[in-house]
Amino acid sequence: METQLEDIANVWPKIKSIFSVPHTEEEYEHLVSMLDNLIDEVGENENHPLASLMESIGNLIETYENKNVPTMHGHPIESLRYLMKEHNLKQTDLPEIGSQGVVSEILKGKRHLNIRQVKELSLKFNISPLVFIQDN
């Protein structure tokens, strides 16, 4: 066990910014950027070697957001409908999600938003991806 701690102590200065809960907006943005890159790399592949890193960074970001970002309550599809109305958008105005048919299925609850769609919508509307993720 002592050898493991020595190994960690040697590596820690290089990785502590990745494995620590962010305390500033800058640290938070750094982790969000890293998570975005991991999502691009890992996608939904739970067997990817970096999948657990993606989960860990997501948990660190969530800890920061729970303390510093106002909680948004609601259903992801209702949020999407609201944003579409506020921005005067039609289903065909959301190529981030897919075709008009895919958007229609999502709005009707026949399909769920996937990670790529959540990421694209959060960028389009400049809001947290959490708005489009439903807790079960």
CATH fold of 76-132: 434 Repressor (Amino-terminal Domain) (1.10.260)
Q: Are residues 130 and 111 in contact, defined by beta-carbon separation less than 8 angstroms? A: no
Q: What is the pLDDT of residues 36-71, one digit of tens each?
A: 899 889 888 889 999 999 999 989 988 988 888 766
Would you state the pLDDT for residue 70? 63
At 4, list the tokens.
Answer: 């493991």
Q: Where are the domains of the chain?
A: 2-68, 76-132
Phi, psi of 69 (to 5 degrees): -115, 130
Would you state the pLDDT for residue 88? 95
* Structure letter (DSSP) for residue 16: T
Ramachandran region, residue 22 (left: φ > 0; alpha: ψ -120 to 50; beta: rest): beta
Q: Are residues 118 and 130 in contact, defined by beta-carbon separation less than 8 angstroms? A: no
Would you state the pLDDT for residue 68? 83
At 46, list the tokens.
Answer: 């739970």
Would you state the pLDDT for residue 126? 85
Residue 121 buriedness (CB in 10 A; 0-12 / 13-18 / 19+): buried
Q: Are residues 106 and 97 in contact, defined by beta-carbon separation less than 8 angstroms? A: yes
Per-residue pLDDT of the chain (136 residues; tens, 9 = 90+): 688 999 989 999 998 888 889 999 899 989 989 988 998 898 888 899 999 999 999 899 889 888 887 665 678 899 899 999 999 999 999 998 999 999 999 999 899 999 899 989 988 988 888 888 875 4
